[in-house]
Structure 1
Amino acid sequence: MVGLLALVFAGLAALLHVYIFVLESIRWTQPGTWKTFGVADQGTADATRPMAYNQGFYNLFLAIGAAIGIVLWIVNGFDDVAGRTLLVFSLGSMLAAALVLVTSGRRYLRPAAIQGTLPLIGLVLTLLA
């Protein structure tokens, strides 16, 4: 049961990071997106687009790592070392990124909580499974 819950939360964390990829790498210059990230205006969104594009791909790669870990764990069973290791690395990296975001200032507590809660739960459950 714990293993199944770990997979669910890992999957949700991966989906969230795919969504962040879409926002940062595809939709960054759309007003609804840059306002969500606290960007002041269209000019600033345009100027920061390369940084956001790159950052979005980091999120996508972490999501892909978690997805591969999930597949390996399902296909090879919950004793699969490679799947578990990939999940621990991917979820741990997502959580670490959220913790780094907290160091940017108090206004980033909410985004860090959104970014880090699912990976935290998934990581703990993966370690317990």
Structure 2
Amino acid sequence: MSVVASVFVGLAALLHVYIFCMESLAWTRPEIWRRFGVADQSAADVTRPMAYNQGFYNLFLGLGAALGIVLWWTGHHEVGKTLMLFCTGSMVAAATVLITTGSSYLRAALSQGTIPLIGFVLTLLA
């Protein structure tokens, strides 16, 4: 169970690092801002500072989850587990908040919340 939990938490971490790359590093590319429902380049330019900041939240959650895995497997089981639960729980909470912004965000919320939810539950059971 610990291995499977670590795999899902690791996948959640990678997903959130990927989201960071899209939001903070590649936001002004049309193929990126279109994914987020931004209407045009002008709107992407206006929202760039917000996306940049939001991307770093995703990065920090991803790095925290990854650190939790490392701590778990290097003998700091309780600290690692706590960090894994906090980070994946935060990811799930953020996806839940995304759903409350409108039904058009349901797919995005499910995409970024399902893997962390599985990781959270498996970590609790491990």
Coarse TM-score class (shorter-chain normalised): over 0.9
What is the RMSD computed on CA atoms of the aligned residues? 0.7
Q: Which residue of 2 aligns with 1:128?
A: 125
Distance in 1, matches of 2:94 and 2:71, equals: 24
Q: Which residue of 2 aligns with 1:68?
A: 67
Q: Report the count of equivalent residues.
A: 126
Within a 5 Å distance, the mapping from 1:1-129 to structure 2 comes to: 2-76=1-75, 80-129=77-126
Q: CA deviation at 1:50?
A: 0.2
Distance in 2, matches of 1:74 and 1:114, equals: 27
* Partner AA of 2:56 in structure 1: F
Query: What SS does the aligned partner of 1:118 have?
Result: helix
Q: CA deviation at 1:14?
A: 0.2
Distance in 2, matches of 1:34 and 1:103, equals: 21
Q: CA deviation at 1:26?
A: 0.3
TM-score (norm 2): 0.99
Deviation digits for residues 30-76 of structure 1, max 9, x if unmatched?
A: 00000111100000000000000000000000001001000001111
Q: CA deviation at 1:17?
A: 0.2
Task: Spell out structure 1 runs of 4+ moving beyond 6 A.
Answer: none
